[in-house]
Amino acid sequence: MNGVKDTILSVDRLTVRFDASPPLLKRLVTGAGRRTVHAVEEVEFEVARGSTFALVGESGCGKSTIARAIAGIQRPSGGSVSFMGVDIAGFRTRHAAMPYRRNLQMIFQDPYASLNPRWRVGRIIAEPILTHGLMTRGAALTARVAELLETVGLSPGDTAKFPHQFSGGQRQRISIARALAANPAFVVCDEPTSALDVSVQAQILNLMRRLQRERGLTYLLISHNLAVVAHMADDMGVMYLGRLVEQGDAGQILGRPLHPYTRLLLDTVPDPRAPKRDRARLAGEVPSPLAPPTGCAFHPRCPLANARCARERPLPIRVEAALVACHAVEEGRLPSRPPAAQQSFATSGDAA
């Protein structure tokens, strides 16, 4: 992992804030002030070409907002996103952004909302090709659409059907075919399987991995499902309340989590292969991003928090293949993990 990485995407101090103020008239009447949602705060990470980088966290942690900022449908409030060496904020016109848009596509969570219900499948898949002028209408385009459908495991005869004639899993396949149509290098996958049944999820995850192998695709995977992340990711970032609390090699983070939030999150996931195990609980709820806590955002729920955590925001420090933002880690206050986790700690420690 220490070789020179071919970085395809680099995110630098990305910040996204939303204005959630009441309307002007109401502010004047009630004296209420402006309110800002701190959706994403100074997030930094890099994605290597051909790998999968996963962002995990609970709802409202800002992971989908990052996906949208990278996909160019959410304007950042600060920081920059650089894709293939070009800062995407620098595009002044739609035309200038076209090469970047051709190389970056997105798969959405809800297969029922991500396909235009009034369009036939053939038209849906052909749209990116026509938009980027890669082909004109004709036999070659028809053949290309048919080929894409076969690539994702559907039949070329499906082009004339409407989305509602397909099941959720099949629709997600259509979404993937559309995302691949313009031959992109990078695909943003925003919860691609969380609306699907597990057996269908397995089909889609296997398909995504096969396509990555065959085409050298890079994925940014947004998911709340740690098992899916474990299965797909090379590197990962754990988000809490708009910030990355831990990032790095997925194997290390899942096997030997350092940040208390990552540890509790991993403990919380129900595992059908280990029924009714004893586990630590994550108490309380995520605070409102309208008024994030001072210091470390996790300190009100953290079993290891002290006065410094409430006061001072921790900066990321490197621990082997991961970056962790936690005072307890820095100060060596971190307790060891229960036996099962301890074991994997030992093995990876030996390897390192």
Between residue 249 and residue 268, which ones bind another protein under the rule CB under 8 A?
250-251, 254, 264-266, 268
Return the residue of 64, 201, 247, 262 that touches another protein, per CB under 8 A. Answer: 201
Q: In the set 167, 306, 342, 347, which binds another protein (CB under 8 A)?
A: 167
For the record, the structure tokens of 117 come out as 């219900």
Residues of this chain, 298-327, that bind another protein according to CB under 8 A: none
- For residue 59, give Cα distances in angstroms to 225, 240, 291: 11, 9, 16
For another protein, which residue of 270, 303, 335, 349 counts as binding (CB under 8 A)?
270
Give how many residues touch another protein by CB under 8 A: 73
User: How many other C-beta atoms lie within 10 A of the C-beta of residue 232?
Assistant: 23
Query: Shortest gap between Cβ of 79 and another protein (angstroms)?
Result: 20
**What is the contact mask toward another protein in residues 7 to 36, using x (rule: CB under 8 A)?**
------------------------------
Minimum distance between the CB of residue 326 and another protein, rounded to whole angstroms?
A: 18
Q: How far is the CB of 131 from another protein (least distance, A)?
A: 5
Report the residue number, 87 or 331, with the smaller CB distance to another protein. Answer: 87
Angle between the N-to-C axes of helices 139-151 and 121-131, in degrees from 0 to 180, rounded to the nearest 10: 110
Selected range binding another protein among 1-9, 37-45, 70-78, 81-89, rule: CB under 8 A:
70-78
**Taking CB under 8 A as the rule, does residue 173 contact another protein?**
no
Q: Which residue of 47, 176, 182, 253 would you call a contact of another protein, by CB under 8 A?
A: 182
Give the separation between CA 315 and CA 295, rounded to whole angstroms. Answer: 10
171 binds another protein (CB under 8 A): no
Choice between 20 and 269, CB closer to another protein: 269
Beta 104-107 vs 86-87: how paired, if at all?
A: unpaired
Half-sphere exposure of 92 (CA within 13 A, CB side): 0
Subset of residues 43 to 62 that bind another protein, contact rule: CB under 8 A: 58-59
Give start and end residues of each alpha helix (H) in the chain: 24-30, 63-70, 94-103, 121-131, 139-151, 168-180, 198-215, 226-232, 250-255, 260-268, 307-311, 327-331, 339-351
CB of 227 to another protein, least distance (A): 4
Q: Which residue has the tokens 């259509």?
A: 174
Rounded Cα distance, 77 and 16, in Å: 5
